[in-house]
Structure 1
């Protein structure tokens, strides 16, 4: 699967949540947060199908789309690409940058500590 654009990723996020959907349903959800035309949504989803990002069931008059990969697989692929290209392959640099830019809450820091503890216990 090719790397999704920002618009494609928005649509994929909706499809992961909804499991499957037609263009009209996706467009209505997108229209709640951004100004976009129906034909733009349609064309983007058609392009996503051509790229192999989504399946399209054409059995009914209204085509129903579903994601090819799950959210976790896509996130893992995007993260690997980001670490390699933007952080020279260093997960440490990515984490330090993310924590430095954001202001994590105490709860988030506790979750991060617990996750790190879990990683250390596996070794």
Structure 2
């Protein structure tokens, strides 16, 4: 995975979410329309964020009659990378310590815990 993925800022992530949700390449006007509804960013801010994402190698741009943008990294790939990075940084690579932390902090509802139990059982059967 591209190391620059870890350098995506929160603002850039909002742009990525627009691209991921679309599921196909978008013209800049459509990206602008969606982001202007969600935020108070002006056109120059949006263009700057798109340029930075292109420079980081996580978005591609194609010039036709206008510029079209598409993600080069899927949302799943991004989430997996960021999750693993979090586990590595905070829990020394131990997903078990992350889960223990969530359980200990009472951040999970009983239904969440039951769902995790089911996932763990399925994981054990496949191994």
1:1-123 correspondence to structure 2 within 5 Å: 1=2, 2=4, 3=6, 4-19=8-23, 20-60=25-65, 62-99=66-103, 100=105, 102-104=107-109, 106=111, 108-123=112-127
Tell me the TM-score normalised to structure 1 length: 0.84
Distance of aligned partners of 1:87 and 1:27 in 2 relative to their CA distance in 1, 3 Å threshold: farther
Q: CA deviation at 1:119?
A: 1.0
What is the rounded CA distance, in whole Å, between the counterparts of 1:101 and 1:5 in structure 2? Answer: 29
RMSD: 1.9
Q: CA deviation at 1:12?
A: 1.2
Unmatched 5+ residue regions in structure 1?
none
What is the rounded CA distance, in whole Å, between the counterparts of 2:49 and 2:29 in structure 1? Answer: 13
Q: CA deviation at 1:32?
A: 2.8
Unmatched 5+ residue regions in structure 2?
none
Alpha carbons 1:55, 1:67 under 8 Å: kept: yes
Tell me the TM-score normalised to structure 2 length: 0.82
How many aligned positions are there?
121
What is the rounded CA distance, in whole Å, between the counterparts of 1:98 and 1:27 in structure 2? Answer: 37
